[in-house]
Structure 1
Amino acid sequence: MTVIQNSTLISKPVEEVYNFLSDLNNHEQLMPDNIYNWVSTADEASFTIKNMAKLALRISQRIENKELVSVPSEEAPFAITLRWKVEPASETTTTATFLIEAELNMMMKMMASGPLQKLVDHQVSKLKEILG
């Protein structure tokens, strides 16, 4: 199992960060420029990654003000889980951590690790930019 992650501190209470992340419609704002054909509801999203693949995700688990787990809702190139964890750092700040857990063979790991890390880093920095 390959785990790729990044965290940031956000100057908002945990409930506010969780509520933003719990609606997949908001995740379009977190995506890099190479994502297009975005279609979403609160629970599902599908999109195309330029020169790579089409991906459809659905929220499989919600733990209020703690964690959101998304998994593919259609066939994916490899087994993957996207996990946002939020925890209060204080009453007014939240630590948000984005993890991608992927079943990658050695070849896929060499090809996909860099782009997946860029995606995680990008989403974490966009979340901080949007929510502060």
Structure 2
Amino acid sequence: MNLESPKVSIEKSSEDVFNFLSNIKNFESLMPESISKFEVLSDDTFLFALKGMPEIILKKKDVIPPNKIVLGAAGGKLDFSLIANIDTISETSSDVQLHFNGDFNPMMAMMIKGPIGKFIETLATSIPKAI
């Protein structure tokens, strides 16, 4: 299953956006209001839970400065990644789009497609306000 957030324009350089998203502590400020738990486990790993959903642990898997950050599931039964692609528009502006890739059975994909789509849209649209 592949989902994309809307592309969001930010009045910050791609380096500024990359540095913000590289610090996993900053993801707390991007979370939707329905978050029930957020905990930094290490410099590259955090745990979060949304109301009515199981806890999810994300780990920074790969970084390509200043254009890409890959977070992946750390443990648990679900295998997926959340990729932030950062495009430089000018020295003071950039675009960000989040991509969610997961390997789920058709029933699971049908159940989580809506909530995950809304979740990554909330993350993406929160970035300009949070930086």
Identity %: 26
CA distance, structure 2, for counterparts of residue 130 and residue 57 of structure 1: 20
What is the letter of the counterpart of residue 123 of structure 2?
A: Q
Q: In the TM superposition, what are the counterparts of 1:11-90 in structure 2 within 5 Å?
A: 11-40=11-40, 41-76=42-77, 78-90=78-90
TM-score using structure 1 length = 0.92
Shift of 1:33: 1.8
2:55 is paired with a residue of what secondary structure? strand
CA distance, structure 1, for counterparts of residue 100 and residue 43 of structure 2: 20
Shift of 1:46: 0.6
Match of 1:103 in 2: 103
Shift of 1:103: 1.0
Alpha-carbon RMSD: 1.2
Deviations 1:92-116 (A, max 9, x none): 1101111110112211121100001
Aligned residues: 129
Contact preservation (8 Å) 1:30, 1:126: yes
Structure 1 residues not aligned, in runs of 5+: none
Match of 1:130 in 2: 130
